[in-house]
Amino acid sequence: MKVFDVIVIGGGLSGFMSAAVSANRGQRVALLTYGSGSLPLASGAIDFLNAEVPDEAIKNLPAHHPYKKIGLKNIDAAAKFFCDVTAQADLPYNGNLSAQIPIVTAVGTLKYSGLVPESMNASKLLDKKKIFVAGIKGLKDFYAAMIIDNLKKIFPDKIFEAATLDLKLLGGRDITCMDAAQLLTGNEQIFADALKNLNATEDDAIIIPPILGLEGNSSRAAVKSQLRAEILETTCLPPSPPGIRLQRAFIKYLQKSGVKIFETSKVVRGVVEGKKVTGVVVENAVREKTFPAKKIILATGGFYSGGITMREFDNPIEPIFNLPVFFTTGAENWSNENLFGDKPQGFSMTGIFTDANLNPIDAAGKILFENLHVVGANLGGCDKIFERSAGGIAIASAYKGATL
């Protein structure tokens, strides 16, 4: 087998981003995935940090934080590259590092994110007089009355109206947003006609569940072109159509860029010569296979995806290269009693420490492998859920790892 310039291990957001940036630099890239990744579970929005002005807040983070090693210049470049990938897939995103954009959640609160699908940009609600919240008959987990009750607290000066649309596509059964998005693909006219019956004007907005297709922006464009009102999607419980749209946008980009994608490829160990990783070994049902490479990007995720495991308490393990894993010692520091409190969870800070080039290091700061770069949820030192930085760290570390 020919030697790849870059092998990316992992099929989540950071893995896709690493492969896309590497391919854009003219490199021969292989992406090894095992499972479907986490994007189908995600909202589709990218959070950089829970701060009003993320780029200013990033400047004040401690030196061990992944963002400080990535650098603002790379974070900004990653955001722009991400938006270019989605734009090429006809999936426009709004936003940047300097501000936050609101999106309406499935319960009617506002969540602020750095990069937001255009179809979810709730800043468009500010100048509207009336807001319709339109559910679909038979659609589970979308409650127009609850959304209105919560939005009234945020927009007390606006008029709200709930509606339930019967699209007669469901066959009398309950469906999820994923089901509805599949059913509406090719049947957008039925949905557009139902929304027209609301008689919404250009002074109004219509909030709907995220059901406008599973790829690109064509379903939304077909519906929106027939309405005078703004139309906005909410978030939803997984599986998430916006997350799947993002996943498909990256896959389309990778395929067009010549990236070799090897699915159901479980990487079991690296091939090591001194401080160099010369390849990885993949296990399948028949035999093991070695993929040689000049550079490796590790994007296998943290606890939730098996990129880090822990069979014994206080002994987390990175299973492919046996890299040392940082963790908060002591059971009393592992978690907080208040799961949704105002402090990070100790266990969520678990991960691999790196130098400024995202090379893994040991406790003494010694580089372990010079051509192995660690990205995404594998990185330790911060609670990405608490500080709402998971998406930003994923794309920014992937960008830097791919450009080194």
- d(CA 327, CA 334) in angstroms, rounded, equals 9
Write b or e for each residue in 159-179: b if 16 or more Cβ atoms lie within 10 A of its Cβ, otherwise e: ebeebebebebbeeeebbbbb
pLDDT tens figures, 118-160:
999 999 999 999 999 999 999 999 999 999 999 999 999 999 9
- d(CA 204, CA 128) in angstroms, rounded, equals 5
- Beta-carbon neighbour count of residue 73 at 10 Å? 9
Look up the CATH architecture of domain 106-234: 3-Layer(aba) Sandwich (3.40)
298 class by beta-carbon count within 10 Å (0-12 exposed, 13-18 middle, 19+ buried): buried
CATH number of 6-93+245-403: 3.50.50.60
Question: 18 pLDDT band (50/70/90 cuts)?
Answer: very high
List the chain domain ranges. 6-93+245-403, 106-234
Indicate if the pLDDT at residue 194 is higher than 70.
Answer: yes
Three-class DSSP category at 395: helix
Indicate if the pLDDT at residue 60 is higher than 70.
Answer: yes
Per-residue pLDDT, averaged over 173-186, amounts to 92
* DSSP assignment letter at 3: P
Question: 230 pLDDT band (50/70/90 cuts)?
Answer: very high
What local confidence, expressed as pLDDT, does residue 346 receive? 79
Indicate if the pLDDT at residue 170 is higher than 70.
Answer: no
pLDDT tens figures, 100-119:
999 999 999 999 999 999 99
What local confidence, expressed as pLDDT, does residue 334 receive? 75
- Average pLDDT of the chain is 94
Contact 170, 137 (CB under 8 A): yes
Indicate if the pLDDT at residue 329 is higher than 80.
Answer: no
93 to each of 117, 245, 338, how far by Cα in Å?
4, 12, 35
Per-residue pLDDT, averaged over 302-327, amounts to 88
Indicate if the pLDDT at residue 24 is higher than 90.
Answer: yes
Indicate if the pLDDT at residue 315 is higher than 90.
Answer: no
Helix (H) or strand (E) holding 271, with range, is strand 266-273
Indicate if the pLDDT at residue 221 is higher than 80.
Answer: yes
- d(CA 71, CA 358) in angstroms, rounded, equals 12
Indicate if the pLDDT at residue 172 is higher than 70.
Answer: no
- d(CA 220, CA 392) in angstroms, rounded, equals 26
Query: Position 235: which residue type?
Result: T
What local confidence, expressed as pLDDT, does residue 169 receive? 75
Six-digit token string for 39: 């994007």
Three-class DSSP category at 209: coil
pTM for the structure as a whole: 0.95
Indicate if the pLDDT at residue 237 is higher than 90.
Answer: yes
Query: Among the residues of 139-217, which ranges form H helices?
Result: 144-154, 177-184, 188-196
